[in-house]
A and B are shown apart, each in its own frame.
Chain A
Amino acid sequence: MARFLLKRLWHTVFVIIGISAISFFFIHLSGDPVMLMLPGDASHQEIEALRERLGFNAPLYEQYLRFVARALRGDFGESLYYRVPSMSLLVERLPASLELALAAMLIALVVAIPIGIVSAVKRGSLLDTGSMLGALFGLSMPHFWLGIMMILLFSVQLGWLPTSGRGTLAHLIMPAVALGMSLMAMFARLTRSVMLEILNLDYIRTARAKGLRERVVIGKHALKNALIPIVTVAGMQFGFLLGGTVIIETVFAWPGVGRLVIQAIFNRDYPVVQAIVLVLALIFVLINLVVDMVYMYLDPQISYYEEK
């Protein structure tokens, strides 16, 4: 157990180092930001002076090491565009993205789990067929298009909800539903299939044979075990969800990390891009680490690194 944890931690560190190196070298290949920062008629001396000041004249590996040393202290350098520390930009925008991702996840789970359970219990019924057809449509819609369609219906036609911005619950509903729709579909299918499997197991038959009410059998005995894979998948998907806010934030003018990073990439504002890539990757990796550990705790039969 301790050995597994150590190994897993080492992998996590390795992944983070790898990501930092890739994003660093990659972004440096993308061209010289100095030219973008100065007016077009800047003299050669001015360009050189700015390069020197920003440290762009040092060898690439030296720049990378300096970058890592500072990044460890949470310092990703000043945004080339906004002229404020990248980290403070990120810290300012991250809560909005987290709020959106959490809301999407919550909506997806709250709607999908009951649907999945009912579909499994009433397998083959009209409700089951209808829900699974709905889930198929949910999986087949690009989330940004769903967002646009909701704007068309609820904002343009009905005038119920604001089209963009952040602040009230009314602002949150549409982007969160749009972002969460494919997850909702996925969870509904997952819950249904897991429940179908569990409902065939011996202990469920025992519980029924004991004369427990169906409600207790399903709600207590079956659901409890079905939640393990669902929670695992939810954990893993959350990281993807954060990375996936890029487009939906553009659609709804949501002031989160996604819009920030798009602007930063277009502006070649690479301290900001690096900060965002690394922090998102860190969140993703840490969530997976936690999910792994929770999973191991819940199900000790799974032996890790018995290479799957």
Chain B
Amino acid sequence: MTAKGSILTPSGVKDALLPHLRLLADTLREVARRRSALAGGVLLLVIVGTSIFFPLVYPVDPLEQNLLARFTPPAWQENGTLAYPLGTDNLGRDILARLLYGSRVSLLVGFAAVLVAMVAGILLGLISGYYGGRLDSVIMRIADIFMAYPFMLLTISVIAVLGNSIFNLILVLGLSDWVTYARTIRGSVLSLKKKEFVEASRAIGTRNSVIIYRHILPNVISPLLILGTLRVANIIIWESGLSFLGMGVPPPMPTWGRMLAEGRVYIADAWWLVTLPGVAIMLTILSINLLGDGLRDALDPRLRNL
């Protein structure tokens, strides 16, 4: 895999990048060959695209109240109107606009928190696995503590102390989720460390940082990618749960969890208030799970059937 020429010449760059690009293309082709994974990927793309570009098509203020139009049902129902395609809530706010804005919160928190968790987990897992010894035991004991700490209580109490900004939410959800990545990485590093190509590299005096970057990291990246994808789904569920408890992104920003909590009061009169945000969460999670399962099948044939 090592590039022969200098990376500074064009051919050197090509030599260095080509195997990576080929691997990526192969992976994508493998994923796309599975119909369910493809469906998940497309659905997720549509959801992400919608949440970015919707103001161009549907420029409705999610906070604007219209007390005369409170509890308007979705358009296909009796008394529904196309002015409010998915109806309105108890203050006459447009549900569709609120769902669209809510998708931004969920997706942002989900992906950003996984990124935070991954960076922390990769770093600690690499250190733990590669250097071993006392550092390893310290990190792994801290991981044990994190595993046993009731997760929900940890995030809730941290949010209660720090306050519930979107930044804190990402940080807290991310930092409480690093353990799985660290353990996965550490396991792979431990087995890789004994492989000939790593030992050979060490024998010729390659620096540790180079060995980790060039030989170890590329080999552990695919389990991490699978894990990361599936964790985005978990984080989004947790985010909506926190929001449901009133500990998510602060109001007035609409979030799916808060919409559920607010709608719950009117469950007997307005079914759409408690149904639609949940459908939005479910479709998002479903697309991520489909894609994650597909990635796993494509990247890690050993785990197939799981």
- Residues of A at the B interface (CB closer than 8 Å) are 11, 14-16, 18-19, 22-23, 26-27, 29-31, 136-137, 139-142, 144-145, 148-149, 151-152, 156, 189-190, 192-193, 196-197, 239-240, 242-244, 246-247, 250-251, 261-262, 265-266, 273, 276-277, 280-281, 284-285, 288, 307-308
- Complex Cα–Cα for A277 and B153 (A): 7
Task: Decide yes or no: A14 and B141 within 8 Å by CB, A140-B289, A247-B244, A261-B153 being known contacts.
Answer: yes
The residue of chain B having its C-beta at the shortest distance from the C-beta of A190 within the complex is B306
Interface centre among B142, B158, B160 (most CB of A within 10 A): B160
Cβ of B264 and Cβ of A148 under 8 Å apart? yes
Cβ of B149 and Cβ of A281 under 8 Å apart? yes
Cβ of A240 and Cβ of B148 under 8 Å apart? no
Interface members, chain B 233-291 (any A CB < 8 Å): 233, 237, 240-241, 244-245, 260, 264, 267-268, 271, 274-275, 277-278, 281-282, 285-286, 289-290
Neighbouring A residues of B277 by C-beta, 8 Å: 145
Cβ of B285 and Cβ of A243 under 8 Å apart? no
Complex partner residue of A22 from B145, B161, B293, CB under 8 angstroms: B145
Neighbouring B residues of A11 by C-beta, 8 Å: 141, 144
Q: Digitize B213-242: 1 where CB-to-A-CB distance is under 8 Å, 0 elsewhere.
A: 000000000000000000001000100110
The residue of chain B having its C-beta at the shortest distance from the C-beta of A11 within the complex is B144
Cβ of A246 and Cβ of B274 under 8 Å apart? no
Cβ of B267 and Cβ of A151 under 8 Å apart? yes
Instruction: Kindly list 12 other residue pairs between chains A and B, CB separation below 8 angstroms, not including A141-B282, A247-B245.
Output: A15-B144, A18-B142, A19-B145, A137-B286, A145-B281, A149-B274, A190-B306, A250-B244, A250-B245, A262-B156, A277-B153, A280-B153
In the assembled complex, B150 has its CB within 8 A of some CB on chain A:
yes
Neighbouring A residues of B142 by C-beta, 8 Å: 18
Complex partner residue of B157 from A14, A243, A265, A284, CB under 8 angstroms: A265
In the assembled complex, B198 has its CB within 8 A of some CB on chain A:
no
Q: Is the interface of B mostly helix, strand, loop or mixed?
A: helix
Neighbouring A residues of B305 by C-beta, 8 Å: 192-193, 196-197
Neighbouring A residues of B152 by C-beta, 8 Å: 243-244, 246-247
- Residues of B at the A interface (CB closer than 8 Å) are 141-142, 144-145, 148-153, 156-158, 160-161, 187, 190, 233, 237, 240-241, 244-245, 260, 264, 267-268, 271, 274-275, 277-278, 281-282, 285-286, 289-290, 293, 305-306
Report the minimum CB–CB distance from B279 to chain A (whole Å).
9
The residue of chain B having its C-beta at the shortest distance from the C-beta of A139 within the complex is B289
Complex partner residue of A246 from B153, B190, B240, B286, CB under 8 angstroms: B153
A-B contact pairs, 21 of them (CB 8 A): A11-B141, A14-B144, A15-B148, A18-B142, A139-B233, A140-B285, A141-B282, A142-B237, A142-B281, A142-B282, A144-B260, A145-B274, A145-B277, A148-B264, A148-B278, A240-B151, A243-B151, A262-B156, A276-B153, A277-B153, A288-B148
Task: Decide yes or no: A277 and B187 within 8 Å by CB, A137-B286, A149-B275, A247-B245 being known contacts.
Answer: no
- Complex Cα–Cα for A196 and B303 (A): 12
Neighbouring A residues of B274 by C-beta, 8 Å: 145, 148-149, 152
Complex partner residue of A145 from B141, B187, B278, B306, CB under 8 angstroms: B278
- Complex Cα–Cα for A281 and B146 (A): 10
Report the minimum CB–CB distance from A15 to chain B (whole Å).
5
Cβ of A144 and Cβ of B157 under 8 Å apart? no
- Complex Cα–Cα for A149 and B278 (A): 9
Neighbouring A residues of B306 by C-beta, 8 Å: 189-190, 193
- Complex Cα–Cα for A307 and B152 (A): 29
- Complex Cα–Cα for A110 and B256 (A): 32
Neighbouring A residues of B160 by C-beta, 8 Å: 30, 265-266
Cβ of A265 and Cβ of B267 under 8 Å apart? no
Report the minimum CB–CB distance from B289 to chain A (whole Å).
6
- Complex Cα–Cα for A139 and B161 (A): 31
Neighbouring B residues of A149 by C-beta, 8 Å: 274-275, 278
Neighbouring A residues of B240 by C-beta, 8 Å: 142, 145
The residue of chain A having its C-beta at the shortest distance from the C-beta of B157 within the complex is A265
Cβ of B286 and Cβ of A29 under 8 Å apart? no
- Complex Cα–Cα for A192 and B291 (A): 20
Question: Which 8 A-B residue pairs are closest in the complex by CB-CB distance?
Answer: A243-B150, A145-B278, A18-B145, A140-B285, A140-B286, A30-B161, A193-B305, A280-B150
Report the minimum CB–CB distance from B16 to chain A (whole Å).
33
Neighbouring B residues of A281 by C-beta, 8 Å: 148-150
Neighbouring B residues of A22 by C-beta, 8 Å: 145, 149
Neighbouring A residues of B144 by C-beta, 8 Å: 11, 14-15, 18
Cβ of A27 and Cβ of B157 under 8 Å apart? yes
Neighbouring A residues of B260 by C-beta, 8 Å: 144-145, 148
- Complex Cα–Cα for A193 and B305 (A): 5
- Complex Cα–Cα for A288 and B148 (A): 9
- Complex Cα–Cα for A19 and B260 (A): 33
Neighbouring A residues of B148 by C-beta, 8 Å: 15-16, 19, 239, 281, 284-285, 288
Complex partner residue of B282 from A137, A189, A250, CB under 8 angstroms: A137
- Complex Cα–Cα for A301 and B260 (A): 49
- Complex Cα–Cα for A307 and B183 (A): 11
Report the minimum CB–CB distance from B48 to chain A (whole Å).
17
Report the minimum CB–CB distance from A117 to chain B (whole Å).
14
The residue of chain A having its C-beta at the shortest distance from the C-beta of B240 within the complex is A142
Cβ of A26 and Cβ of B161 under 8 Å apart? yes
Cβ of B282 and Cβ of A140 under 8 Å apart? yes
Cβ of A140 and Cβ of B233 under 8 Å apart? yes
Neighbouring B residues of A196 by C-beta, 8 Å: 305
Neighbouring A residues of B264 by C-beta, 8 Å: 148, 251
